[in-house]
Amino acid sequence: MTFTHMTAVAGQYFNGLGLWGWTAWAAAASLACLAVYDRFFSGDNILMNFPVVGHIRYFLIEIGPELRQYIVANNHEEAPFNREEREWVYRSARGENNYFGFGTDDQIYGTGYPIIKHAVFPHGETSFAASIHDKAESIPAAKILGEQHDRKKAWRPDSIVNISAMSFGSLGGHAIEALNRGAKLAGCYHNTGEGGLSPHHRNGADVIYQIGTGYFGCRDLDGSFSMDKLLETVEGYQNVRGIEIKLSQGAKPGKGGVLPGRKVTEEIARIRGVHPGKDCISPNSHSAFHDVKTMIKFIEDIARSTGLPVGVKSAVGHLDFWEELAKEMKRSKKGPDWITIDGGEGGTGAAPLTFADHVSLPFKVGFSRVYKTFLEEKMADKVTWIGSGKLGFPDRAVVAFAMGVDMINIARESMLSIGCIQAQKCHTDRCPSGIATQSSWLQAGLDPHVQSQRFARFCQSFRNELLAVTHACGYEHPSQFTAEDVEVGSGPGTCKTLKEVYGYTPDRKWTRIEGWGHDAAKHPVTRKKAA
């Protein structure tokens, strides 16, 4: 057969292949090229020994979390939030039945398992069913932020459950807008996170403006703090009700925040005062102060200039700082109006593995040590205490209130309520739910108006169930819980109260919250259980 004849036969063959034939040839050629690359150029021992097939292993590793979530894991196996916890948030957000049947499948005899002790004669006459579906019910804070230091714009938050610090940058604009709109509907406040006050935060909710070590939104060109910039920001939006200085956070305590360059859009760069497309890295400490006394001066300067109450947020490590802070606040009668304690189990964005897993104390341990330090100086009731770190469930909230918190902030639970599926892709900019990403394509799937309704329903359901448990224990307000109202498993078949475990019960002085409850005159907030 001549070369010309062979060419003619090949031409006839390829002409007769059609679309599917050409597709098969193209696929085979691509696989052959991939096999050659894997075997001789990849530098990966698995791919070199098993060309093409080795990619299946890496694909299965990539989708492993999804496979476990949907197929393998049981109700309590996953972390940071297990299937039952996510389902409770999802059902609450959708306004569906969030009850569970056939009793608990928790390990109720496990060490550390919390048991809330109910009262024989519960508070009030409202049934559980009526209470849980009372959409008008809210729970205001028992303390007024800034009252102790006579701030000009002292303020009582309308809700004891609020949105924790999550920056625009870490979350996309659609997610921030959804949360802010939802916060307005639910009557709770929205903490901006350290990324500055964006247009997405300006949808009607009360706002706590957070200042981190990068001073984003209130910095000079050289990155130093600017009081003029701060005043320009907070005076330009009347819904800013307080300022929080972030010392550290649970995700990466002692290390500054990192927003990867691919997330730093033109809009984010403009709001933060940084360069677009470049990694936005916060220092690990503040340049505006360097010790307790200069920090208090910084706080007082901001409070005096803005009139707003000012608080601090921190994870907990060594106690030296807290001991000095309590003593200096007692001596000077100055300092933060609130303290937010973030547990080491917290975190919504990117963090190094060691920091996320091993740096800073978990919430219950860290909070109890700091609160007890202030209690010993008789300063615990001079501060409003806010807890953060996986507290977005009624049982965990009760434990936190029993330990001394006055309010709680929730982050990841808020994300779950607007559609987060715990894909754990927050650090990649490829969040499939369109929440922790700046991708316009992925964000398009998140409708802020729809998801704001979901957050509002979740927040309302959370508060209603928390209030129902409060009433079941004989109290009117969650801040009345004491460390003797909760016991935790301490060994085989034994339990201890939180007072026995941590060595204190909260110190609280009460005043009536006007206008709250079914009849404020009949039901003032008192220290005693209802008769």
**DSSP for 80-142, written as a single string:** SS-HHHHHHHHHHHHT------SS--S-TTSTT-EEEPPPSS-SSS--HHHHHT-TT-----S
For residue 308, pLDDT over 50 is answered with yes
For the chain, the average pLDDT equals 84
As a residue count, the chain comes to 531
Tokens representing 416 are 């779950």
- Residue 26 to residue 188: CA distance in whole angstroms: 58
For residue 521, pLDDT over 70 is answered with no
Query: Between 252 and 115, whose confidence is greater?
Result: 115
Query: Between 76 and 45, whose confidence is greater?
Result: 45
Q: What is the pLDDT of residue 340?
A: 97
Q: What is the pLDDT of residue 252?
A: 57
The 10 Å Cβ neighbour count of residue 95 is 16
Q: What is the pLDDT of residue 519?
A: 39
Query: Between 476 and 273, whose confidence is greater?
Result: 476
The 10 Å Cβ neighbour count of residue 308 is 23
Query: Between 325 and 280, whose confidence is greater?
Result: 325
- Mapped to the 3 state alphabet, what secondary structure does 204-215 carry? CCCEEEEECCCC
For residue 461, pLDDT over 70 is answered with yes
% pLDDT > 90, the chain: 47
Q: What is the pLDDT of residue 49?
A: 81
For residue 353, pLDDT over 80 is answered with no
The CA-to-CA distance between both ends of the chain, in Å, stands at 107
Q: What is the pLDDT of residue 133?
A: 44
Place of tokens 């009536």: 512
Band (pLDDT 50/70/90 cuts) for residue 136 is very low
Averaged pLDDT for residues 290-304: 96
Band (pLDDT 50/70/90 cuts) for residue 349 is low
Band (pLDDT 50/70/90 cuts) for residue 379 is very high
Buried b (16+ CB within 10 A) or exposed e, 212-225: bbbbbbbbeeebeb
Digit-coded pLDDT (tens) for 33-70: 888 888 888 877 778 788 888 888 878 777 777 666 66
For residue 130, pLDDT over 80 is answered with no
For residue 266, pLDDT over 60 is answered with yes
SS3 392: coil
Q: Which of the residue ranges 127-136, 217-226, 293-302 would you say has the lowest mean pLDDT?
A: 127-136
Q: Which of the residue ranges 99-113, 229-243, 328-342, 473-487 would you say has the lowest mean pLDDT?
A: 99-113
Averaged pLDDT for residues 59-87: 72
Q: Which of the residue ranges 119-128, 267-276, 319-328 would you say has the lowest mean pLDDT?
A: 119-128
**143-471: which CATH architecture?**
Alpha-Beta Barrel (3.20)
Q: What is the pLDDT of residue 417?
A: 93
For residue 249, pLDDT over 80 is answered with no
Place of tokens 């098969």: 24
SS3 31: helix
Averaged pLDDT for residues 92-113: 81
Q: What is the pLDDT of residue 240?
A: 96
Query: Between 14 and 391, whose confidence is greater?
Result: 391
What angle in degrees, to the nearest 10, is found between the helix axes of 54-62 and 18-40? Answer: 90
